[in-house]
Amino acid sequence: MKTSKLLAATALSASAFAGTAQAEDLTLCWAAWDPANALVELSKEFEAQSGHKMNFEFVPWPNFADRMLNELNSGGKLCDLLIGDSQWIGGGAENGHYVKLNDFFDAEGISMDDFAPATVYAYSTWPKGEPNYYALPAMGDANAWFYRKDWFERDDIKAAFKEKTGRDLAEPKSQKELLEIAQFFQGREIDGKTVYGAAIFTERGSEGITMGITGALYPWGFKYENTPGKYDMEGAVNSPQAVEALEFYKEFYKTATPPGYTNAYMGESLDAFKSGQVAMGMNWFAFFPGLYADPNVGGDKIGFFVNPPQNQAGSTLGGQGISVVSYSEKQDAALEYIKWFAQPEVQQKWWSLGGYSCHNAVLNDPGFKDSAPFAGDFLEAMGAVQDFWQEPAYAELLLAMQKRMHDYVVADQGTAKEALDALIADWTEVFEDEGKL
């Protein structure tokens, strides 16, 4: 039944996308965060132009995956459009949850060459890199860093750092410099208040600690497989570089984070920074417009930098594509929204409102780098992003990594090598169950 729905959807003629006979109420599902609010504002133009009414179902990030994957797996009709995580694209395609968009893109002259290659690969294609498109790149994102620029520029703090380290206090050029800076600030008194090094990700329940640890693993040279598509993980997942990176992240957690920081993700990182507890924080670019606008720590007080390299450049990919849900009874109207959203002028406004466009017309504009204090960093990060497994069984793969990483880093169980060896065993079992090994 799923296959026939997909075939029917992709066989629609080009005229079907030119406009529907009557106005529809469409529901777009996404996570509840700042970019979602920007999309509500942006979508008012679509409502005015199309006559359709947009409804929104926004779910808090800790519950987003469970809520939406349950909706898809049950064939639910809540969502006509879904901005789903990059890791869902394999399951969305293979399980028939998402409408394949190739015929629609061809009919409407929408070219994936108009979007940043990393975002097309990560958000749209299945199998990876093949020209089979199940989403339009919607929200570019990567994990990066922000810091108290006003603290970094204080003469007393600069002098103390120079005396301790022998170098000038500045944005870190490597992961090890990042830790050195965080350790310098750890427990330091600034304006009569004890502060800490950095807010990093340690959350176990959803994806937090995995997204944080990969921020170290990728710059060290971590790979999921020795040979892409072969699931040959021994010597890749548990390589000497991976062991060193994992040990690094644990040292970071133990020596340079706020007390009791055992289960922290996006919200806790933002709270720690906004309340003046930490000198630096990791989080997604999606939150940077809001941080820059913050009356207490934004403006001249905040700076931004790309996740630093170590052996190589590497940033953890975030972001999502927008898909038409195959169970929707309003696919024509939903495809109208995709067509509207893909327009360069709409993409430009999306960026100006606080969304992260993936369209080359926006990203390659000569003025883009100067359009926000983090715009250049965003471009740099998106040139060296890596993503977690995008397999249909990604949820099981993620749960295994969450457990193994949290047990080692936070619960202090075993060695880094033992944690990675155990992770390979977990993942091997999943791929055997999937018939991939």
Q: Give me the sign of the Cα torsion angle 302, 308, 313, 316.
A: negative
3 state SS of 364:
coil
Please state, as a whole number, how many other Cβ atoms lie within 10 Å of the Cβ of residue 156.
Answer: 9
Half-sphere CA count of 69, side-chain side, radius 13 A: 18
Q: How far is CA 133 from CA 96, 104, 317, in A?
A: 13, 10, 19
Beta strand 315-324 with 385-386 is: parallel
| pLDDT value for 22 | 82
CA distance 188 to 171: 18
Residues with Cβ within 8 Å of residue 188, at least 6 apart in sequence: 194, 195
Asked whether the beta carbons of 6 and 326 are under 8 A apart, the reply is: yes
Q: Kindly give the confidence (pLDDT) of every residue in the chain, 437 residues in length, as a single tens digit, with 9 standing for 90 and above.
A: 333 333 333 333 333 344 445 899 999 999 999 999 999 999 999 999 999 999 999 999 989 999 999 999 999 999 999 999 999 999 999 999 999 999 999 999 999 999 999 999 999 999 999 999 999 999 999 999 999 999 999 999 999 999 999 999 999 999 999 999 999 999 999 999 999 999 999 999 999 999 999 999 999 999 999 999 999 999 999 999 999 999 999 999 999 999 999 999 999 999 999 999 999 999 999 999 999 999 999 999 999 999 999 999 999 999 999 999 999 999 999 999 999 999 999 999 999 999 999 999 999 999 999 999 999 999 999 999 999 999 999 999 999 999 999 999 999 999 999 999 999 999 999 999 999 99
CA distance 105 to 321: 14
Asked whether the beta carbons of 289 and 295 are under 8 A apart, the reply is: no
C-alpha closest to that of 418 among 205, 247, 182: 247
| pLDDT value for 28 | 98
pTM, 2 dp? 0.93
Alpha helix ranges (H) inside 354-415 = 360-363, 375-382, 394-409
C-alpha closest to that of 52 among 350, 336, 346: 336
Please give the DSSP secondary-structure letter assigned to residue 135: -
C-alpha closest to that of 10 among 103, 143, 75, 87: 103
C-alpha closest to that of 342 among 160, 177, 109: 109
CA distance 137 to 350: 13
Q: How far is CA 132 from CA 100, 120, 128, 434, in A?
A: 7, 10, 9, 21
C-alpha closest to that of 406 among 271, 211, 183, 244: 211
Q: How many residues in the chain?
A: 437
